[in-house]
């Protein structure tokens, strides 16, 4: 499916701008990893963009992502895309993360949310953000408390990437779409930590 079709589906089911931005962030992360690994960037980006499209209507497990998987199947999305989306839910034992795509989605999902939270606390947003500063924020349990630090660490390990390199890589991927994420640096902000 092309991005226009994917966006139409997203807009049909997701009204919350913060959730939409999260999906754009994960899309950017997966697209960047697809390019890095020589994979189908459009397919990977589709998985990132649509991984939570059903969450607003069906936030409770296992409805999310199972309700969405039915809709995706009805709309002609491939089994590979549907499976990757289902695999990001730890509570679906029949959908273990097997492919690199499955693992990349899981690795990007929580971390993208955490990076956006970190960026919103900085006048320079993503500019100059480092893995070291992100790791420091990860130690603050009260900061972005809904984000699972264990999932972030496990995701990087399962993907086979160093956590600091993963953080740095995703900062770069998100910086490339900073305007779309409402993460443009404030006027006069310096990018230093």
Local confidence pLDDT in tens for the 193 residues of the chain: 799 999 999 999 999 999 999 999 999 999 999 999 999 999 999 999 999 999 999 999 999 999 999 999 999 999 999 999 999 999 999 999 999 999 999 999 999 999 999 999 999 999 999 999 999 999 999 999 999 999 999 999 999 999 999 999 999 999 999 999 999 998 876 655 5
Distance, in Å, from the CA atom of 96 to the CA atom of 84, rounded to the nearest integer, reads 9
Q: Is residue 25 part of a domain?
A: yes
116 within a domain of the structure (yes/no):
yes
Does 34 reside within a domain? yes
* Residue 70 counted as domain residue: yes
Is residue 152 assigned to a domain?
A: yes
Q: Which domain range does residue 75 map to?
A: 3-175
Where residue 13 sits, what CATH number does that domain have? 1.10.3210
Does 67 map to a domain? Answer: yes
Within its chain, how far is the Cα of 35 from the centroid?
Answer: 16
Count: domains in the chain: 1
Q: Exposed, middle or buried, 92 (CB in 10 Å: 0-12/13-18/19+)?
A: middle
Q: Does 181 reside within a domain?
A: no
Whether 184 maps to a domain, the answer reads: no
């Amino acid at each position: 499916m092309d991005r226009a079709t994917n966006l139409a589906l997203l807009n049909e089911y997701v009204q919350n701008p913060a959730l939409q931005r999260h999906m754009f962030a994960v899309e950017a992360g997966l697209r960047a990893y697809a390019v890095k690994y020589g994979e189908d960037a459009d397919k990977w980006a589709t998985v990132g963009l649509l991984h939570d499209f059903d969450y607003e209507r069906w936030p409770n497990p296992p409805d999310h992502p199972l309700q969405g998987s039915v809709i995706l199947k009805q709309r002609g999305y491939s089994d590979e895309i549907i499976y990757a989306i289902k695999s990001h839910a730890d509570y679906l034992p029949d959908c273990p993360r097997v492919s690199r795509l499955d693992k990349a989605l899981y690795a990007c999902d929580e971390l993208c949310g955490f990076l956006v939270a970190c960026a919103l606390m900085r006048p320079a947003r993503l500019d100059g953000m480092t893995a070291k500063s992100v790791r420091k924020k990860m130690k603050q349990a009260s900061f972005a408390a809904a984000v699972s630090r264990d999932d972030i660490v496990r995701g990087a390990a399962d993907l086979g990437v160093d956590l600091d390199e993963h953080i740095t890589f995703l900062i770069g991927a998100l910086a490339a779409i900073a305007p779309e994420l409402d993460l443009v640096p404030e006027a006069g902000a310096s990018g230093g930590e």
